[in-house]
A and B are shown apart, each in its own frame.
Chain A
């Protein structure tokens, strides 16, 4: 399969750093954080106090009125980002063959806030009070389905559930679809789990930060790393075959040059974690050497053990300190299925702008291999970016983007 010709022609973003792509990029370049104390619900009784919440999003202005009460907040984000991505790509889906346009999104938990509301009705009022739309609003494929219906994109649609790796895995799937008859794929991720049910469901993995100070809660690669902060939002990309994009005169953000997925061995296994191997496989597919990579967008799990594994994998492939590493997700929190898709959007904007955006500065580097962490915006005109993502349970993905 010739999969090296997939290009990105449109970007849509709804994030704690901004509800448009331009707003997000301005925040990222300035290192302006979207993290704060949780205000979407009373989090006083929960061990997690800080999150990345999307500010100033008005569903009624972004989502068809009929769909607002019928879908979850995560789907609202996904619908808004999808529409923005199509507009950005200057694509009108009504002018293209409906079966040649596909939608693939990543989801890590489905419509938790919608589901919580319906469960409240179930146990306070009874089963007759559970709305019919619960049947479609809660589940993983809800965003894909609503985006597909709204824009009449009826090609191969799907959802990928590999937790935070999903935002890269959808792009791997998008490339496969371009090779099998789809001319355009809308791919990305959307998640919004900042409700009691969503937060409690995530607490069990032990990775969430209990630090109440928004400036200290998410410090990946720092000796004071205490876990990650949850975030919400969506990022959607329009992916097209390069020749088809050129034929319609589309503006290209960059190329999906290489992708690979791996899966970690079980805890206690003598086999190494999958990350280094996955990075090498993505580079090999892109026909690039480690020295060709100008910047790495780290997974930045924020827990000491996971951070160390990532630093060791980077040192193994690139030598210690051998490549600039950034983590703009320190400004948004980890956005689950949307997080890596947003990292890809940010990486493409990085290639376009010629400036590597900063991660939150590390004040006391954690023990382990050295990292060249980008603490201030670095104008080095990068041409190749590597985006990494690891999902809870061992999902691992790497994507190489070229300008």
Chain B
């Protein structure tokens, strides 16, 4: 399978109207807090729902605790994808 990338994350943020924020972040912003980019904890729950729908993996509610920056969000989503495909 193809890994989930920064481009994919930006696409998810930009393509969902309920996820308004600064989706223009780039490789230099991987460690910026998502809250500072305009994505609060509810936005991360919304993101989790979008990932569930588009990638078919369950995203537990406590994912918001781990997804605090673009880097940790990408890592977390990749872990979920890998676990699902390994199962």
- A interface list, Cβ under 8 A from B: 65-70, 128-133, 135-136
B20 contacts chain A at the CB level, 8 A cutoff: yes
Residues of the A chain whose Cβ atoms lie less than 8 Å from the Cβ of B43: 132
Residues of the B chain whose Cβ atoms lie less than 8 Å from the Cβ of A130: 49
A133 touches B42 (CB 8 A): yes
Give the CA-CA distance A135 to B53 in the complex, in Å.
19
B22 to chain A, nearest CB (A): 9
Q: Which of B43-87 contact A (CB under 8 A)?
A: 43, 45-46, 49, 52-53
Residues of the A chain whose Cβ atoms lie less than 8 Å from the Cβ of B27: none
Residues of the A chain whose Cβ atoms lie less than 8 Å from the Cβ of B53: 128-129
A132 touches B20 (CB 8 A): no
Give the CA-CA distance A120 to B43 in the complex, in Å.
21
- B interface list, Cβ under 8 A from A: 17-18, 20-21, 38, 42-43, 45-46, 49, 52-53
Give the CA-CA distance A356 to B42 in the complex, in Å.
48
- Can you list 22 contacts pairing A with B, beta carbon distance less than 8 Å? A66-B20, A66-B21, A66-B38, A68-B20, A69-B17, A69-B18, A70-B20, A70-B42, A128-B53, A129-B49, A129-B53, A131-B18, A131-B46, A132-B18, A132-B42, A132-B43, A132-B45, A132-B46, A133-B18, A133-B46, A135-B42, A136-B42
Give the CA-CA distance A66 to B18 in the complex, in Å.
8
A56 to chain B, nearest CB (A): 22
A246 to chain B, nearest CB (A): 39
B36 to chain A, nearest CB (A): 13
A132 touches B49 (CB 8 A): yes
B49 touches A128 (CB 8 A): yes
Give the CA-CA distance A133 to B38 in the complex, in Å.
14
A55 to chain B, nearest CB (A): 24
Give the CA-CA distance A128 to B61 in the complex, in Å.
12
Residues of the B chain whose Cβ atoms lie less than 8 Å from the Cβ of A66: 20-21, 38
Please give me the 5 A-B residue pairs with the lowest Cβ-Cβ distance, nearest first. Answer: A132-B45, A132-B46, A66-B20, A69-B17, A132-B42
Residue of A68, A69, A130 ringed by the most chain B CB atoms within 10 A: A69
- List 5 extra interface pairs beyond A66-B21, A70-B18, A132-B18, CB under 8 A: A132-B45, A132-B46, A133-B18, A133-B46, A136-B42
Known contacts A128-B52, A131-B49; A65 and B42 CB within 8 A of each other: no
Give the CA-CA distance A132 to B42 in the complex, in Å.
6
Residues of the A chain whose Cβ atoms lie less than 8 Å from the Cβ of B46: 131-133
Complex: chain B residue closest to A127, CB-CB = B49
Give the CA-CA distance A66 to B46 in the complex, in Å.
14
B21 to chain A, nearest CB (A): 6
Residue of B20, B21, B38 ringed by the most chain A CB atoms within 10 A: B20
Residues of the B chain whose Cβ atoms lie less than 8 Å from the Cβ of A129: 49, 53
Give the CA-CA distance A205 to B82 in the complex, in Å.
55
Complex: chain A residue closest to B38, CB-CB = A66
Complex: chain A residue closest to B42, CB-CB = A132
Residues of the A chain whose Cβ atoms lie less than 8 Å from the Cβ of B20: 65-70
Give the CA-CA distance A70 to B52 in the complex, in Å.
20
Residues of the A chain whose Cβ atoms lie less than 8 Å from the Cβ of B52: 128
